[in-house]
């Protein structure tokens, strides 16, 4: 595990991955140096100011343990299995499209002190994904003002006829298969339907049901609206 302290990356423990564990030691190969914005060509991690870092286009606040991710509304209505994916992912069933490299999000979550303990074995698995908890919020502009809601409020529970139960999402951490980080392959970021390759999964029992959630079209703005997802380490 490694974290940001005083502008430096410090290794507390390194480990080599098994078939489903990310190699944190090798991660340091591209996060070895922190640069200022003027000298950012040789590293994807840039120090913006005290406690604020930019990893590609993911903003990390090492003091508040928050991550800000840019994206857009991908779908405004319909059934879903994902809350968010990256370009090339399951766009036909995801509310938000995030403009990120999935692997970088995994690293960012590690940098704010979260750890992952293993996702489910297969899609729709009824077991509970394991890992540290985080809260997720969605922000967009409406009439020039910021609107901020919990991610769960963007999701409608069909069976209970209400918004998704408020919960803390789980950093399950995807898997590595044949040397490939599977969230980069599948492009799944946050799933409502349990998925072994997602980075963040739904901890609720509804995660084993692919027919329980649709988009809350009374709340989610129109397709193409710019949004920001805010991920916070749960205290």
Could you tell me which residue, 40 or 217, shows the higher pLDDT?
Answer: 217
Q: What is the pLDDT of residue 15?
A: 33
CA 77 to chain centre: 21
Whether 7 has a pLDDT exceeding 90, the answer reads no
The long-range contacts involving 204-211, CB below 8 angstroms and separated by at least 24 positions, are 204/164, 204/165, 204/167, 205/126, 206/157, 206/159, 206/164, 206/165, 207/128, 207/129, 208/124, 208/125, 208/126, 209/124, 210/81, 210/124, 211/79, 211/158
Distances (CA, A) of 46 to 20, 51, 77, 100, 187: 29, 11, 37, 15, 24
Which tens digit of pLDDT belongs to each residue from 147-161? 999 999 999 999 999
Whether 24 has a pLDDT exceeding 70, the answer reads no
Which tens digit of pLDDT belongs to each residue from 82-140? 999 999 999 999 999 999 999 999 999 998 999 998 899 999 999 999 999 999 999 99
pTM for the predicted model, two decimal places: 0.85
Which tens digit of pLDDT belongs to each residue from 51-86? 999 999 999 999 999 999 999 999 999 999 999 999
Reading the block at residue 204, the tokens are 């609720």
Q: Is residue 149 classed as helix, strand or coil in its secondary structure?
A: strand
Question: What is the DSSP code string of 189-202?
Answer: EEESS--TT-SEE-
Average pLDDT value for residue range 162-188:
95
What confidence category does residue 179 fall into, taking pLDDT thresholds of 50, 70 and 90? confident
186: number of Cβ within 10 Å: 22
CA distance 192 to 150: 14
Torsion angles phi and psi, residue 3, rounded to 5:
-140, 165
Q: What are the respective helix, strand and coil percentages of the chain, to the nearest 5?
A: 15, 40, 45
CA distance 83 to 69: 13
User: Picking from 28-32, 70-74, 185-189, 226-230, which range would have the lowest pLDDT averaged per residue?
Assistant: 28-32
Which tens digit of pLDDT belongs to each residue from 212-234? 999 999 999 999 999 999 999 99
Q: Is residue 45 classed as helix, strand or coil in its secondary structure?
A: strand
Strands 130-131 and 116-118: antiparallel
Name the residue with tokens 């003002």.
145
Q: What is the pLDDT of residue 180?
A: 87
Q: What is the pLDDT of residue 173?
A: 94
211: number of Cβ within 10 Å: 11
Asked if 147 and 139 touch (Cβ cutoff 8 Å), the reply is yes
Asked if 227 and 130 touch (Cβ cutoff 8 Å), the reply is no
What confidence category does residue 13 fall into, taking pLDDT thresholds of 50, 70 and 90? very low
What confidence category does residue 19 fall into, taking pLDDT thresholds of 50, 70 and 90? very low
Q: What is the pLDDT of residue 42?
A: 56
Reading the block at residue 173, the tokens are 């951490």
Asked if 155 and 80 touch (Cβ cutoff 8 Å), the reply is yes
């Amino acid at each position: 595990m490694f974290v940001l302290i005083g502008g430096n990356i410090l290794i507390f423990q390194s480990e080599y991955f098994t078939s489903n564990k990310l190699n944190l030691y090798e991660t340091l190969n591209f996060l070895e140096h922190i640069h200022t914005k003027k000298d950012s060509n040789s590293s994807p991690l840039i120090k913006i100011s005290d406690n604020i870092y930019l990893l590609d286009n993911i903003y990390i606040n090492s003091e508040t343990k928050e991550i800000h991710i840019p994206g857009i509304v991908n779908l405004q209505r319909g059934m879903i299995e994902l809350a968010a994916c990256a370009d090339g992912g399951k766009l036909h069933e995801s509310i938000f499209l995030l403009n990120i490299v999935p692997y970088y999000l995994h690293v960012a979550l590690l940098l704010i002190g979260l750890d992952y303990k293993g996702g489910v074995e297969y899609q729709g698995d009824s077991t509970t994904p394991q890992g540290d908890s985080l809260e997720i919020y969605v922000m967009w502009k409406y009439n020039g003002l910021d609107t901020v809601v919990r991610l769960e409020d963007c999701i409608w529970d069909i069976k209970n006829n209400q918004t998704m139960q408020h919960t803390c999402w789980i950093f399950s951490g995807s898997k590595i298969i044949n040397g490939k980080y599977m969230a980069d392959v599948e492009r799944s970021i946050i799933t409502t339907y349990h998925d072994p390759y997602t980075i963040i999964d739904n901890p609720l029992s509804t995660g084993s049901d692919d027919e329980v959630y649709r988009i809350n079209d009374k709340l989610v703005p129109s397709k193409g609206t710019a949004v920001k997802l805010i991920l916070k380490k749960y205290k």
